[in-house]
Amino acid sequence: AAGVIQSPRHLIKEKRETATLKCYPIPRHDTVYWYQQGPGQDPQFLISFYEKMQSDKGSIPDRFSAQQFSDYHSELNMSSLELGDSALYFCASSTGVPGYGYTFGSGTRLTVV
């Protein structure tokens, strides 16, 4: 069965560079969530989208932005990267009923050097 696809799996960037992370939800899932998990920490909610509109916002820095496209895939854009942005970034998708069918991607591990 198709799963949530994230790309890239690993990314190394230098300070002050930009990065774009992509998430492709399960077919027929219209809701996408982004989470950030720092080393040794529990995941923190960043932002979510439902039907291409932002539906909720968590602890997402102003340097980050995200959007959901017409095919429901989502991209997280990160600018002016800082060392503290090094983390595992998870995407999850679900159906229109909030949280149901919750499925996680494998994550993108971002390392800022």
Partner 1 sequence: KNEVEQSPQNLTAQEGEFITINCSYSVGISALHWLQQHPGGGIVSLFMLSSGKKKHGRLIATINIQEKHSSLHITASHPRDSAVYICAVLGGSQGNLIFGKGTKLSVKP
- For residues 57-86, which are near partner 1 according to CB under 8 A? 58
Pick from 15, 63, 98, 111 the residue near partner 1 by CB under 8 A.
Answer: 98
Render 39-54 in DSSP notation, one character per residue: TTS--EEEEEEETTEE
CA distance 25 to 5: 7
- 31 sits near partner 1 (criterion: CB under 8 A): yes
- 106 sits near partner 1 (criterion: CB under 8 A): yes
- 109 sits near partner 1 (criterion: CB under 8 A): yes
Q: How far is the CB of 2 from partner 1 (least distance, A)?
A: 15
CA distance 19 to 29: 25
CA distance 101 to 36: 20
Judged by beta carbon, residue 37 or residue 79, the one nearer partner 1 is 37
